[in-house]
């Protein structure tokens, strides 16, 4: 096949066609009418969620040089305020970036990232005011609050300062939204004079960038779905051009970090779950043949090495085993060390704000479905641990809930983990409402973290479960590979197995079971709903990637070419036939479907608005039931929904009102 398929709904792909705007507006109006019966419930859930949030809050200040950096939030303000204190964490506050001020003139505004210069004088930041992820870049002098005159548009999120605090590196995006060029900008100069540092010629690769914790280097990374190459920029000599750390090999992913005397290179070459090599440095450049670099951390078949955090005198390894994330502290910079102990069997770790390279301690965050994010600091050499902060959740009583880990059995015998939270006194009668969440793509892991909004479901008797299906990375890279390309259907059958397990064990029943996923998780929702519509009572599909065949046949759409290594290139017959066999739009049939809520973003660059629109239109043509089928398009946002934290909560309340209303109508007043 060489061209995009056409059908009687192809007109919905015409962004400038007035009929399209009319269709989306009519669908929004229909959704508002149908959801009118749940308005009181939606308002109640929104008030509940908001009451559980400390609107006035502050992160744990993190030391960097003479300052302590943090962010805080204020009552009634939807965005973060970034600030610092000189000398000690409770010193006089200096605000250097107030997202509320940046967002004030805009209905939508997301600050994508910011970077403070090494001398603490400037802050560079990027922001997006449409949701299309093309950012505007600005630079501000912190002491005066004055914005510098230069304006840079269509930038990506990543920023990095050179050691001189006058040279800023940024990444530009092309018309297809691909981050493809790195530029060097001199503070105070016209951006038209910016020097091109690196251009990625291959359309399947996109660029990212990060400064090393030591601030000696800047790493540029070019990545496709299966290949990653690192380039080294000398932050002390910013005029030097970048050099590749270890070249580029198809199918090999590696990432370099500064360890002081050398580079540590995390690589999957001859190591499916990654190992670490030591690359010696000479004049700020990698030395020798990568094949001769000594191994620092060996490959372990049953442990995925997700990330590496090097410091001057110790390393931290982020590991994953049996679906659970672990942190290993390695004093003396050796692979030996100790894992941080935790009592909860269903939980996750996140790395905290660790801004200094020369330190003897490490901050991390522990969270579980029943434990709010909790910041600890551990002394690397001794393991001595200090609790710095636990996120305050007004009214939370953890004893009212229980978290569990279940295992489902797939069609081929594989064991699939399920994480869940439910009321502590829940009886497994088979009649409890349940929401099963899934994703299953790109090797992404769904972490069993605390989510304050979920409590509004659980307090109404719901079970909230996460299906850690193949296509994700929860059980290592092999778990990802078993759910992609010509094995993609495994993701869907795994999810169905998880649903059946929850039913078999008495947690729920088909009429009480709701399912939810976003983006590639929305594809999962569409596929399993076509395969087993009778198994589910409700579906919430957020910005769903459901018109897979048409999208993957159209390389003019942003990001399509980058996706070939995850889904396959349908211009090849075997991939065309396989994608056609599961693409939700192409497999809608004449049958009864569950209640469905579908969301979209008009400015979404990742999943074009017309995918959910066409899917809903096709469902309206063919479904044989009269259950709810709702499409809600945000006409001013993109892939991630509202930027305002309170509007994001309203979106959650809207979705949960739908779920409670159709799965547990007798509990509307609970």
H/E/C letters for each residue in 449-481?
CCCHHHHHHHCCCCEEEEECCECECCCCHHHHH
- 565 catalytically annotated: no
Instruction: Provide long-range contacts, Cβ within 8 A and 24+ apart, for 342-345.
Output: 342/366, 344/368, 344/370, 344/371, 344/403, 345/403, 345/405
pLDDT band at 4 (very low <50, low <70, confident <90, very high): very low
Structure confidence by residue, pLDDT tens digits, 562-617: 999 999 999 999 999 999 999 999 999 999 999 999 999 999 999 999 999 999 99
pLDDT of residue 410: 98
- Rounded CA-CA distance 158/172 in Å is 9
Catalytic entry in 234, 258, 604, 634: 604
Read off the pTM: 0.97
563: left (phi over 0), alpha (psi -120 to 50) or beta: alpha
Check residue 633 and give its pLDDT: 98
pLDDT band of 1, cuts 50, 70, 90: very low
pLDDT-based confidence at 622, cuts 50/70/90?
Answer: very high
**Catalytic annotation, pick one of 206, 456, 639, 644:** 639
pLDDT of residue 482: 98
Q: Could you count the other beta carbons within 10 Å of the beta carbon of residue 243?
A: 13
Which residue intervals of 52-133 are DSSP H helices?
99-103
CA distance 89 to 93: 9
Residue-wise pLDDT tens digits, 278-333: 999 998 899 999 999 999 999 999 999 999 999 999 999 999 999 999 999 999 98
Q: For residue 233, is pLDDT > 90? A: yes
**pLDDT score, position 2:** 38
What's the 3-state SS for 161-177?
ECCCCCEEEEEEECCCC
Q: Does residue 5 carry a pLDDT above 60? A: no
Q: Pull the structure tokens for residue 32.
A: 């508002």
pLDDT at 16: 87
Q: For the residues of 364-430, what is the DSSP string, one character each?
A: EEEEETTEEEEEEEEETTT--EEEEEE---TT--GGGEEEEEEEEE-TTS-EEEEEEEEETT----S
> Which pLDDT value is given to residue 75?
98
With cut-offs at 50, 70 and 90, classify the pLDDT of residue 666. confident
> In this prediction, what percent of the chain has a pLDDT beyond 90?
95
Buried-state track 62-99, b at ≥16 Cβ within 10 A, e below 16:
bebeebbbbbbbeeebbbbbbbbbeeeeeeeeeebbbb
User: Is position 604 annotated as part of the catalytic site?
Assistant: yes
Give 126-179 pLDDT, tens digit per residue.
999 999 999 999 999 999 999 999 999 999 999 999 999 999 999 999 999 999
Average pLDDT over residues 541-548: 98
Res. 559 pLDDT band, cuts 50 70 90: confident
* Mean confidence (pLDDT) of the chain: 96
Token pair, residue 615, equals: 């899917």
In the annotation, is 174 catalytic? Answer: no
Residue 43 has pLDDT above 50, yes or no: yes
Map residue 260 onto helix, strand or coil: coil
Q: Comparing 244-248, 419-423, 458-462, 664-668, which segment has the lowest mean pLDDT?
A: 664-668
Q: Is 490 left (phi over 0), alpha (psi -120 to 50) or beta?
A: alpha
What distance in Å separates the CA atoms of residue 483 and residue 489, rounded to the nearest whole number? 7
- Residue 6 confidence (pLDDT): 52
Q: Are strands 206-211 and 361-368 parallel, antiparallel or unpaired?
A: unpaired
Among 519, 547, 569, 644, the one annotated catalytic = 519
The dihedral over CA atoms of 537, 542, 548, 552, expressed in degrees to the nearest 10, equals -170
Question: What is the signed CA dihedral for 543, 135, 229, 233, rounded to 10 degrees?
Answer: -160
For the beta carbon of residue 39, count every other beta carbon within 10 angstroms. 12
CA-based Rg of the chain, rounded to a whole angstrom? 25
Exposed, middle or buried by CB within 10 Å (0-12, 13-18, 19+), for 147?
exposed
End-to-end, the C-alpha distance of the chain in Å comes to 54
H-type alpha helices, 116-223:
none
Residue written as tokens 């990654």?
274
Size of the chain, expressed as the number of residues it contains: 670
Q: How far apart are CA 384 and CA 23, in angstroms?
A: 60
How far apart CA 533 and CA 594 sit, in angstroms, is 6
Residues 6+ apart with CB under 8 A from 318: 305, 306, 307, 308, 309, 325, 326, 327, 349, 351
pLDDT of residue 284: 86
Asked whether the predicted pLDDT for residue 516 surpasses 80, the reply is yes
Model confidence at 343, in pLDDT bands (50, 70, 90)? confident
Model pLDDT for residues 380-430, shown as the tens digit of each residue? 999 999 999 999 999 999 999 999 999 999 999 999 999 999 999 999 999
> What's the rounded mean pLDDT across residues 456-475?
98
Encoded tokens for 661: 């209303």
In Å, how far are 91, 117, 377, 436, 564 from 580, measured between CA atoms?
61, 50, 50, 26, 15
Of residues 556 and 96, the one with the higher pLDDT is: 96
CB-CB contact of 627 with 593 (8 Å): yes
- pLDDT band for 3, please (50, 70, 90 cuts): very low
pLDDT greater than 70 at residue 27? yes
Report d(CA 223, CA 577) in Å as an integer.
Answer: 27
Sign of torsion, CA 288 292 297 300?
positive
pLDDT value at residue 669: 60
């Amino acid at each position: 096949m060489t061209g995009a398929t056409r059908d009687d709904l192809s007109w919905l792909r015409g962004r400038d066609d007035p009929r399209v705007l009319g269709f989306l507006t009519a669908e929004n109006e229909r959704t508002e009418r149908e959801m009118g019966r749940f308005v009181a419930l939606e308002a109640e859930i929104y008030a509940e969620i908001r009451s559980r949030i400390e609107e006035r809050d502050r992160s744990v200040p993190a030391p960097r040089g003479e300052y302590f950096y943090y962010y805080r939030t204020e009552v009634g303000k939807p965005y973060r305020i970034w600030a610092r204190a000189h000398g000690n964490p409770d010193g006089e506050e200096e605000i250097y970036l107030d997202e509320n001020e940046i967002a004030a003139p805009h209905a939508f505004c997301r600050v994508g990232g910011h970077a403070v210069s090494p001398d603490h004088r400037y802050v560079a930041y990027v922001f997006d005011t449409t949701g299309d992820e093309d950012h505007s870049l600005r630079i501000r002098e912190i002491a005066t609050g004055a914005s510098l005159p230069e304006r840079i548009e269509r930038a990506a999120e990543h920023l990095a300062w050179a050691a001189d605090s006058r040279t800023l590196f940024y990444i530009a995006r092309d018309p297809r939204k691909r981050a493809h060029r790195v530029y060097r900008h001199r503070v105070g100069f016209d951006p038209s004079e910016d020097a091109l540092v690196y251009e990625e010629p291959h359309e399947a690769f996109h660029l990212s960038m990060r400064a090393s914790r030591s601030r000696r280097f800047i790493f540029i990374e070019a990545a496709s779905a299966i290949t990653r190459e690192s380039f080294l920029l000398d932050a002390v000599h910013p005029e030097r051009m970048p050099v590749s750390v270890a070249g580029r090999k198809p199918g090999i992913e590696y990432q370099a970090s500064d360890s002081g005397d050398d580079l540590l290179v995390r690589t999957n070459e001859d190591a499916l779950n990654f190992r670490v090599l030591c690359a010696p440095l000479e004049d700020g450049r990698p030395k020798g043949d990568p094949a001769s670099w000594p191994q620092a951390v060996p490959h372990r078949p049953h442990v995925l090495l997700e990330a590496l955090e090097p410091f001057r005198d110790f390393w931290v390894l982020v590991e994953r085993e049996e679906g659970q994330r672990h942190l290993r502290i390695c004093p003396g910079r050796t692979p030996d060390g100790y894992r941080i102990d935790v009592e909860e069997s269903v939980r996750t770790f996140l790395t905290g704000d660790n801004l200094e390279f020369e330190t003897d301690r490490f901050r991390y965050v522990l969270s579980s479905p029943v434990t709010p994010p909790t910041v600890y600091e551990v002394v690397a050499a001794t393991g001595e641990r200090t609790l710095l902060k636990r996120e305050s959740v007004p009214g939370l009583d953890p004893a009212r809930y229980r978290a569990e880990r279940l295992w489902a059995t797939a069609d081929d015998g594989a064991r699939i983990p399920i994480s869940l939270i439910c009321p502590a006194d829940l009886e497994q009668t088979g009649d409890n409402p349940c929401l099963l969440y899934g994703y299953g793509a790109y090797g992404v892991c769904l972490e069993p973290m605390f989510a304050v909004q979920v409590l509004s479901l659980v307090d109404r008797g719901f079970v909230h479960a996460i299906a850690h299906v193949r296509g994700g990375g929860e059980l290592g890279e092999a778990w990802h590979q078993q759910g992609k390309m010509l094995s993609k259907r495994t993701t869907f059958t795994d999810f169905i197995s998880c649903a059946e397990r929850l039913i078999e064990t008495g947690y729920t029943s088909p009429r009480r079971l709701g399912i939810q996923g976003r983006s590639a998780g929305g594809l999962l929702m569409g596929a399993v709903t076509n395969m087993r519509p009778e198994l589910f009572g409700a579906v919430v599909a957020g910005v769903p990637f459901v018109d897979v065949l048409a999208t993957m046949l159209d390389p003019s759409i942003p990001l399509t070419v980058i996706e070939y290594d995850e889904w396959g290139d349908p211009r090849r017959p075997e991939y065309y036939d396989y994608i056609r066999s599961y693409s939700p739009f192409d497999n809608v049939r004449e049958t009864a479907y569950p209640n469905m809520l579908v969301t979209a973003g008009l400015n979404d660059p990742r999943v074009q608005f017309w995918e959910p629109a066409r899917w809903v239109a096709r469902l309206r043509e063919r479904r044989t039931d009269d259950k709810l089928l709702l499409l809600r398009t945000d006409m001013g946002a993109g892939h991630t929904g509202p930027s305002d934290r309170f509007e994001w909560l309203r979106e959650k309340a809207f979705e949960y009102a739908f779920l409670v209303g159709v799965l547990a109508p007798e509990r509307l007043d609970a």
